[in-house]
């Protein structure tokens, strides 16, 4: 026995479309086995008692950053004054801002390279690949904790790591040896039985999970995969599933580390990094979902949400304009080999543009050596560098109203760089079959599937990972700063009272791509908050930045699942710079809420969701004595001065997050407490 629960405990399950509940005990103390995630949390627990919904502070073994969030994270790390990272391994990747149409991105790369060298961080050079793919191949270790300044860090769950996406400031704190705090999640078990049919892919498994749970169904939960079906999935397939668990809003997703994991790590020359990781036999989950793999069919997430699922057979015959294969979800050796096997000896349809970005130099190099790259090129693929590329709008934007099938994980409106682009998320199998057909094509119609055997030995060459300077040399490393790199914006302690206009009112499921759009034009401004803030919310309302600046201080009102998607703290820092003091919504996505708190912006939720209708854009909202209410943990009473109506808002903070808000953000709090 390991955990200790009192009160009653309910199991809620989903089986063949039906939800069932089962009471496991009543008003009695019972002792339960631990889930795998609970075991890793327990082994890394620095504070808290693992009661669901309360803060737990975790020791973090590894961190990763990428370049679009990395510059800010390292500026924050520098501001903390810690000379050398205190983690077991920290790696800085260059994979997002790789299109260099001006000096900005290249300057950021040099800054990150030099700051990494100085402070004990490994540096994965541009061209080495997408952070999550490379980290899985070369650095991840089962049973360890990893946080990354990128929401798809849960990819590491594919080898049994507790890997979570976080804001840059949280990663900076973890690099400095500080704890990473999460609200203790509920545990969901996804029980896999059976085996995928030929041409049905791991991508179809996660699309099925998204269909069942929706983009907000995972908030406050960790998703653990188990059951006999797990043994039929290779590590890259598992990683596709944990990667896209980010789209559920889950804290993370995790697979056990077993013999298959061991074989993968051995083939990476890292057998010694393997350890078995599994849940206890009698672990109890808050929710259980059963999926029979043999019942799945190829699917697509239709515009503009990853949970808008249809089967490919429903879409078959619809013309497509573009196919993009790659991203941290589906760019492994296994994925691209299956694509090459489909395209070999054929030519893509005349109406289709096919772009392929291998996930890592390892994958790219292996395809080059075994001839598969030649098959892709001969079929007409446009080979892109190993990077995020089209996934983040760094090139390859589709034509107007273009239908683009992508093996990626997000299809939010406008993210591709074409405002009316129609993005469908599909498996590599569906993408390749459709590239040949020029229309949506169900890959199960392709005939016999070629079996892709996982290599016994991957091509190992870490020559594009630069080691940090040895301790005795670190002081002499000069940090190179380009002119576009501006300091972290200053934050203020919480004011006694707030009176400000609602500068913007938005609806449900607002993504960070709405709040702080990305793409080739805006991403180079990631290290310059004053400049990037001019693009804040322009997807929803192009006048927002000017209006917010004119107002001086303001409040944003939104619906449910506000801030879903990426971990970019710019979606909090730009509003902060524009004077946003509070965000009042029906509910928040996890990472964005933390980023708001870290930036010192008050995260408020309507006590009564119907009050959403009681605020209009332009209304003046008054919160007298807000500081006292926050201190006392009381509800915040807001008077809408324009209508006279009173609204009650919740500000659910733990002792620690309360202090952070009162101090005016995590950086101030960390300085004050160190
Ligand atoms: C994304 O996929 O949205 C990104 C770009 O990788 C982001 C990080 C960022 O905005 O820099 C994420 O997933 O966190
Ligand atoms: Fe890069 Fe796309 Fe993955 Fe984000 S989701 S890390 S942009 S490949």
Domains present along the chain, CATH in parentheses: 57-295 (3.30.499.10), 299-441 (3.30.499.10), 498-672 (3.20.19.10)
Model pLDDT, residue 52: 95
C-alpha–C-alpha distance, residues 429 and 606, integer Å: 44
Q: What is the CA radius of gyration of the chain?
A: 24
How far away, in angstroms, is 472 Cα from ligand 1 center? 35
Ligand 2 and 328: CB distance under 6 A: yes
- Cβ(379)–Cβ(336) under 8 Å? no
**The two structure tokens encoding residue 238:** 């598992």
Ligand 2 and 44: CB distance under 6 A: no
C-alpha–C-alpha distance, residues 394 and 399, integer Å: 15
C-alpha–C-alpha distance, residues 637 and 418, integer Å: 42
Which residues, at least 6 apart from 356, have a Cβ–Cβ distance to it below 8 Å?
324, 325, 326, 336, 339, 376, 381, 382, 383, 384
Mean pLDDT in each 10-residue stretch from start to end of the chain (674 residues)? 34 37 46 91 97 96 98 95 97 98 97 98 98 98 98 99 98 97 98 98 98 97 98 98 98 98 98 98 96 98 98 98 98 98 98 98 98 98 98 97 98 96 98 98 95 94 98 97 92 96 98 97 97 97 98 98 97 98 98 98 98 98 97 97 98 96 94 83
Q: What is the DSSP letter of 650?
A: E
What is the pTM for the complete model shown?
A: 0.95
Model pLDDT, residue 591: 97
Pocket of ligand 1 (CB under 6 A): 68-69, 96, 150-152, 165, 392, 410, 518, 565-568
Nearest ligand by distance to the CA of 325: 2
Model pLDDT, residue 118: 98
Please give the number of the atom of ligand 1 that sits closest to the Cα of 246. Answer: 13
Model pLDDT, residue 31: 64
Ligand 1 pocket test: which of 306, 406, 568 has the largest number of ligand atoms within 8 Å of its C-beta?
568
- Helix (H) / strand (E) containing 428: helix 428-437
Nearest ligand by distance to the CA of 131: 2
Phi and psi, residue 600, nearest 5°: 80, 20
Look at residues 88, 93, 130 and name the one whose alpha carbon lies nearest to residue 108: 93
Q: Is 146 exposed, middle or buried (0-12, 13-18, 19+ CB in 10 A)?
A: buried
What is the CA 447 to chain-centroid distance, rounded?
35
Q: Please name the residue whose Cα sits nearest to atom 7 of ligand 2.
A: 392
C-alpha–C-alpha distance, residues 200 and 525, integer Å: 40
Ligand 2 and 239: CB distance under 6 A: no
- Taking CA 186 as the corner, what is the angle to CA 184 and CA 190, rounded to the nearest 5 degrees? 140
Look at residues 68, 180, 162 and name the one whose alpha carbon lies nearest to residue 512: 68
Model pLDDT, residue 30: 57
Ligand 2 and 196: CB distance under 6 A: no
How far away, in angstroms, is 412 Cα from ligand 1 center? 12
Please give the number of the atom of ligand 1 that sits closest to the Cα of 567. Answer: 14
How far away, in angstroms, is 372 Cα from ligand 2 center? 24
Strands (E), 100-176: 122-124, 145-148, 162-165
C-alpha–C-alpha distance, residues 617 and 103, integer Å: 39
Q: What is the DSSP letter of 358?
A: -
**The two structure tokens encoding residue 2:** 């390991």
Ligand 2 and 611: CB distance under 6 A: no
Phi and psi, residue 520, nearest 5°: -60, -30
First-to-final CA distance of the chain: 37
How far away, in angstroms, is 311 Cα from ligand 1 center? 27
Query: Assign residue 625 a region: left if phi > 0, alpha if psi is -120 to 50, beta otherwise?
Result: left
C-alpha–C-alpha distance, residues 383 and 348, integer Å: 14
Nearest ligand by distance to the CA of 568: 1
Model pLDDT, residue 673: 85
Strands (E), 274-431: 287-292, 299-301, 309-311, 322-325, 353-356, 382-383, 403-406, 422-425
How far away, in angstroms, is 671 Cα from ligand 2 center? 32
Ligand 2 and 150: CB distance under 6 A: yes
How far away, in angstroms, is 513 Cα from ligand 1 center? 9
C-alpha–C-alpha distance, residues 135 and 360, integer Å: 10
């Amino acid at each position: 026995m390991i955990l200790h629960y009192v009160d009653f405990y309910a199991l809620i399950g989903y089986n063949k479309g039906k939800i069932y509940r089962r009471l496991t005990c009543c008003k009695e103390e019972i002792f339960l086995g631990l889930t795998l995630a609970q075991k890793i949390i327990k082994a890394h627990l620095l504070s808290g008692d693992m009661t669901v919904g309360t803060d737990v502070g975790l020791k973090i073994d590894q961190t990763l950053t990428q370049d679009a969030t990395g510059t800010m994270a390292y500026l924050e790390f520098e501001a903390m004054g810690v000379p050398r990272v205190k983690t077991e391994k920290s790696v800085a990747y260059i994979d997002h801002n790789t299109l260099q149409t001006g000096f900005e991105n290249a300057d950021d790369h040099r800054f990150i390279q030099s700051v990494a060298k100085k402070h004990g961080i490994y540096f994965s050079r541009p061209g080495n690949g997408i952070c999550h793919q490379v980290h899985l191949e070369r650095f991840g270790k089962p049973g360890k904790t990893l946080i990354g300044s990128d929401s798809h860090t849960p990819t590491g769950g594919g080898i049994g790591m507790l890997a979570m996406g976080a804001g840059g400031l949280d990663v900076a704190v973890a690099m400095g040896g500080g704890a990473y705090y999460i609200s203790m999640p509920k545990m969901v078990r996804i029980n896999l039985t059976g085996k995928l049919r030929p041409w049905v892919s791991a991508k179809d498994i996660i699309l099925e999970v998204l269909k069942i749970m929706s983009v907000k169904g995972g908030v406050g939960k960790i998703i653990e995969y188990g059951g006999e079906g797990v043994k039929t999935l290779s590590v890259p397939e598992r990683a596709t599933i944990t990667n896209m668990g980010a789209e559920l809003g889950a804290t993370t997703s995790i697979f056990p580390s077993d013999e298959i994991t061991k074989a993968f790590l051995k083939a990476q020359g890292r057998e010694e990094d393997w350890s078995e990781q599994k849940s206890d036999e009698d672990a109890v989950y808050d929710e259980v979902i059963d999926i029979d793999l043999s019942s799945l069919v190829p699917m697509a997430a239709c515009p503009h949400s990853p949970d808008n699922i249809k089967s490919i057979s429903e879409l078959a015959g619809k013309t497509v304009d573009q196919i993009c294969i790659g991203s941290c979800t589906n760019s492994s050796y296994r994925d691209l080999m299956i694509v090459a096997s489909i395209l070999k000896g054929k030519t893509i349809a005349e109406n289709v543009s096919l772009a392929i970005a291998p996930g890592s130099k390892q994958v790219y190099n292996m395809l080059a050596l075994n001839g598969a790259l030649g098959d892709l090129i001969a079929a007409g693929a446009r080979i892109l560098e190993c990077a995020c590329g089209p996934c983040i709008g760094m090139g390859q934007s589709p034509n107007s109203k273009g239908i683009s099938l992508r093996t990626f994980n997000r299809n939010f409106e406008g993210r591709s760089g074409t405002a009316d682009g129609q993005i469908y998320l599909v498996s590599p199998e569906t993408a390749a079959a459709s590239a040949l057909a020029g229309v949506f094509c169900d890959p199960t119609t392709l005939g016999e599937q070629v079996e892709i055997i996982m290599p016994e030995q991957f091509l190992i060459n870490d020559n594009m990972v630069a080691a940090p300077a040895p301790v005795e040399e670190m002081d002499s490393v000069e940090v190179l700063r380009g002119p576009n790199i501006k300091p972290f914006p200053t934050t203020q302690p919480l004011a006694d009272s707030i009176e400000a206009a609602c500068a913007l009112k938005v609806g449900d499921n607002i993504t960070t791509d709405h709040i702080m759009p990305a793409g080739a034009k805006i991403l180079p401004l990631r290290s310059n908050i004053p400049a990037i803030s001019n693009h804040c919310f322009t997807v929803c309302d192009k006048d927002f930045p000017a209006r917010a600046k004119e107002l001086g201080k303001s409040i944003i009102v939104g619906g449910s699942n506000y801030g879903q998607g990426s971990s970019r703290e710019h979606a909090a820092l730009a509003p902060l710079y524009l004077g946003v003091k509070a965000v009042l919504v029906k509910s928040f996505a996890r990472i964005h809420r933390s980023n708001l708190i870290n930036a010192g912006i008050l995260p408020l939720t309507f006590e009564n969701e119907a009050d959403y209708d009681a605020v209009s854009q332009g209304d003046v909202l008054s919160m007298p004595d807000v500081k006292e209410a926050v201190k006392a943990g009381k509800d915040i009473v807001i008077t809408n001065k324009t209508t006279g109506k009173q609204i009650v808002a919740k500000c659910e903070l733990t002792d620690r997050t309360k202090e952070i808000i009162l101090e005016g953000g995590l950086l101030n709090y960390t300085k004050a407490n160190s």
